[in-house]
Structure 1
């Protein structure tokens, strides 16, 4: 089963979801702003992405710049920040049972479908 971590207000996220829909494969959508990931779930996604937490943070977001930009945060603290502020999570994320990609560029999604 494919999971798309989706923000419907984001053009790139909508494009990524459309790619998954058009693949004909079974998928589910999780609007992570409405249903935030737990720290454990986000940790598993990061493992599948092979990312450090900072690689998944949208560092140009106002909330990041105003509250976290100049702080020296551990990976665990960064995960907590993303769980508490899901808007900071890069999108879309497409996850399969054994891997995940960030859909920027959207060709990343095509690579795992």
Structure 2
């Protein structure tokens, strides 16, 4: 009976691996489709991006660009400290991970209560 028990264990492991492979394949296909949608979106938005760059180039060539020596700020100053919430969702995630997001509390203040 011992050899038959080993076969059953391998059968269960094989079925579990096949199940995981099917899940990974489905997730891969979902991500591939999402990638295609994003690539199409980038193609559609490319003329708008190029138009915006031309506008910036025209204003800098015309001499209407502000003096950058006195207006340069650090990224934290430009953001207004931790009170300002960035409009970019990716920047909010980065701020959250770095611990500088608007809703992040200093854990040290609260850890002594417990």
TM-score (normalised: structure 2): 0.21
Q: Name the structure with the higher helix share.
A: 2
TM-score (normalised: structure 1): 0.21
Structure scoring higher RCO (CA < 8 A, sep ≥ 6) equals 1
